Amino acid sequence: MTKVFIGGSRRVSKLKAEVRQRIDRIIEKRLPIIIGDANGADKAVQEYLASKSYDLVEVFCAGNSCRNNIGNWPIRTSPVNNKRKDFSYYATKDRAMADEASVGLMLWDKESVGTLMNVIRLLRRHKKVVLYTAPDQEFLELKENADWTRLISSCSVDLRDRIERVALDEFSPHESKRHIKRTPTQADLFID
């Protein structure tokens, strides 16, 4: 059965009608949803799912406790090695969700590195991602390297550089060398 990883930027704290309609279709199909515990998109989606009394939800958390679990759904904790609650600390749960999901629905503010990292994680696992860009209010479907290339080439150089730095920490040096092209657009970043 298809399992949907829903996530997004912390700056996306309200769900537009078109996003709610997408989630409603997931609910109608009774697809299991996995979601993180962050403020912003995670919390907004949790609130919406709770308002619909949707039960097929599992909340993923880094460490031993969740920041948000609005619907009191089952939780899955991801063990972390460091105690510092930084980007890599919370990325443990994101990697676990990318492993378990069949597809992704990401809500992006067009600035969040974390949301783009989830897109990369899913694409590297050959899983389709629907990316909603909140400022443009549009959905993009990403299935392959060419889709990633179009997306990343439209991003600012600063954002591409930040993604590269984060990805270098996450992926092995061998993977990074193979997947990072140090060009002005870094178009083929991290895709198999």
* Structural domains of the chain, with CATH: 4-143 (3.40.50.450)
Residue burial 9-22, b: 16+ Cβ < 10 Å; e: rest: bebbbebeeebeeb
- For 127, the token pair is 């899983």
Question: Which amino acid is present at 135?
Answer: P
Q: pLDDT 10s per residue in the chain (192 long)?
A: 899 999 999 999 999 999 999 999 999 999 999 999 999 999 999 999 999 999 999 999 988 889 999 999 999 988 787 777 766 767 889 999 999 999 999 999 999 999 999 999 999 999 999 999 999 999 999 999 889 889 988 999 999 998 888 877 777 554 443 443 333 333 344 444
Which pLDDT belongs to residue 184? 37
Mind listing the pLDDT tens digit for each residue in 35-83?
Answer: 999 999 999 999 999 999 999 999 999 888 899 999 999 999 887 877 7
Separation of alpha carbons 12 and 133, rounded Å: 10
| 62 within 8 A of 80, measured Cβ to Cβ | yes
Cα–Cα distance, 64 to 125 (Å, whole number): 26
Count of CA atoms in the C-beta half-sphere (13 A) of 19: 27
Alpha-carbon span 54 to 1, nearest angstrom: 17
Q: Which pLDDT belongs to residue 102? A: 97
